[in-house]
Amino acid sequence: MKKAVVLLSGGLDSATALYLAKSEGFDVHTICFNYGQRHDRELNAAKEIADKAKVTEHRVVSINMNQWGGSSLTDKSMDIEHGDVNRTDIPVTYVPARNMVFLSLAASYAEAIGAQDIFIGVSEVDYSGYVDCRQEFIDAMEKTINLGTVMGAEKNQPIQIHAPFVNKTKSEEIAIGMQLGVDYGLTWSCYNGGKEPCGTCDSCLLRAKAFAEAGYEDPALKQ
């Protein structure tokens, strides 16, 4: 079985990417990042999702990006702004260069275990204007990874980054995930790290909109 590394945050995009990788026959290894995010509750969600999906290995990597902050997710002195699904500016929840850091570490993990495939659940359709969720960025990272790894540069075993939802809406993702048996009740999207989702941040609003469009109730909200 071919090994794949799946970036798993505990949210619905990455959970769907995990199930998609499994459905394509990959031996799945998940990597999750404790980067100093205020919603570190998502780490528990990632663990539960990985366990339920029976992945081969689930790795949690700690990188304290809250040392320099620069985002309301990693700097507790900043407030999470009220959600707006129609916003056009870059919200303060944007974490500087997050996916570049995450994909670099995923590439290191992939090379160490001999995996040529990395899955990331980014979308440039229903996103918050995050520049590191675009196809252009993914393509450039794939090129960089293959220049900076022995697998890519010497062994002719190039690493491919799969971003299967980059052109899909979140509701399309949910429709795919429901077919694949994703337990969305285990996923966590809220940027605020409370016991229950706040229902007002960008991430909660995008999630609610996606479930409504897909025609499903969000199982995480069921009593």
- Among 95, 190, 206, 220, indicate the residue that binds Zn ion (CB under 5 A): 190
Give, in order, the Cα–Cα distances in Å from 93 to each of 7, 87, 126, 130, 183: 19, 13, 15, 9, 26
Helix (H) or strand (E) holding 117: strand 117-119
CB of 79 to Zn ion, least distance (A): 13
Strands 3-7 and 117-119: parallel
**Residue closer to Zn ion (CB basis): 175 or 198:** 198
Please tell me whether residue 97 adopts helix, strand or coil conformation: coil
Contact status: 198 vs Zn ion (CB under 5 A): yes
Contact status: 204 vs Zn ion (CB under 5 A): yes
Phi/psi of residue 28, nearest 5 degrees: -90, 130
Q: Which positions from 67 to 96 touch Zn ion by CB under 5 A, shown as an x/- string?
A: ------------------------------
CB of 197 to Zn ion, least distance (A): 5
Helix (H) or strand (E) holding 150: helix 150-153
Contact status: 105 vs Zn ion (CB under 5 A): no
Chain residues that interact with Zn ion, rule: CB under 5 A? 190, 192, 197-198, 201, 204
